[in-house]
């Protein structure tokens, strides 16, 4: 893990976007060898997503051979629901870059069997060869990707009960 401290939100967003651009461009993804990136949701990465979209539109980066894997989704929400992370990612990032929608992966919040959905998600990540770069978000209570404080660092994709502070932080 790397901790970078910037003077403000705009500088942090720009730094994060430049880091993503550098890593993807250095990797040189192709259709046969895509770059796999883990992405967060919430308010913190929006500035980074805006900077990445500008860079894509300017031709500095392409997401054509990038595969995204998102960290979380709410159980019970349709992908089109404004509070779902499918909706969040589409409206804040995917709609503004040149990514193939089949290369964007989010958990199915409507899965009848969440345990099986989580296992299938883990298997999909493994089939991709893992994640080349993971951008994490940390909640005010220290949660990372809805892994509430006290969660094992070795934990994998699973359904969790959110703490009241996490629910407050994520309510829009």
DSSP tag of 163? P
* Residue 8 a catalytic site member: no
Q: Is residue 16 within 8 Å of 135, Cβ to Cβ?
A: yes
Q: What is the Cα–Cα distance from 165 to 170, expressed in whole angstroms?
A: 9
- Active-site residue (options: 51, 72, 73, 117): 72
How many angstroms separate the Cα of 165 from the Cα of each of 63, 146, 168?
Answer: 34, 11, 5
Q: What is the Cα–Cα distance from 39 to 106, expressed in whole angstroms?
A: 10
* Residue 72 a catalytic site member: yes
* Residue 143 a catalytic site member: yes
- Active-site residue (options: 6, 83, 141, 159): 141
- Active-site residue (options: 51, 86, 117, 143): 143
* Residue 141 a catalytic site member: yes
DSSP tag of 15? H
- Active-site residue (options: 18, 148, 165, 169): 148
Known catalytic residues are 72, 141, 143, 148
């Amino acid at each position: 893990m790397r901790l970078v401290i910037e003077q403000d939100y705009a500088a942090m967003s720009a730094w994060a976007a430049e880091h993503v651009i550098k890593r993807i461009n250095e990797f040189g993804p192709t259709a046969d060898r895509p770059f796999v990136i883990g992405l967060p949701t919430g308010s913190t990465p929006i500035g980074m997503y805006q900077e990445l979209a500008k860079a894509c539109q300017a031709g500095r980066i392409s997401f054509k051979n990038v595969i995204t894997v998102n960290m979380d989704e709410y159980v019970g929400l349709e992908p089109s629901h404004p509070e779902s992370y499918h909706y969040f990612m589409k409206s804040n990032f995917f709609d503004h870059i040149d990514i193939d929608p089949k290369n964007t992966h989010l958990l199915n919040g409507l899965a009848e069997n969440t345990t099986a959905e989580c296992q299938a998600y883990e298997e999909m990540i493994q089939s991709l060869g893992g994640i080349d770069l993971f951008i994490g978000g940390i909640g005010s209570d220290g949660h990372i990707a809805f892994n509430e404080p006290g969660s094992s660092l070795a934990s994998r994709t699973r359904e969790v009960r959110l703490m009241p502070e996490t629910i407050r932080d994520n309510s829009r």
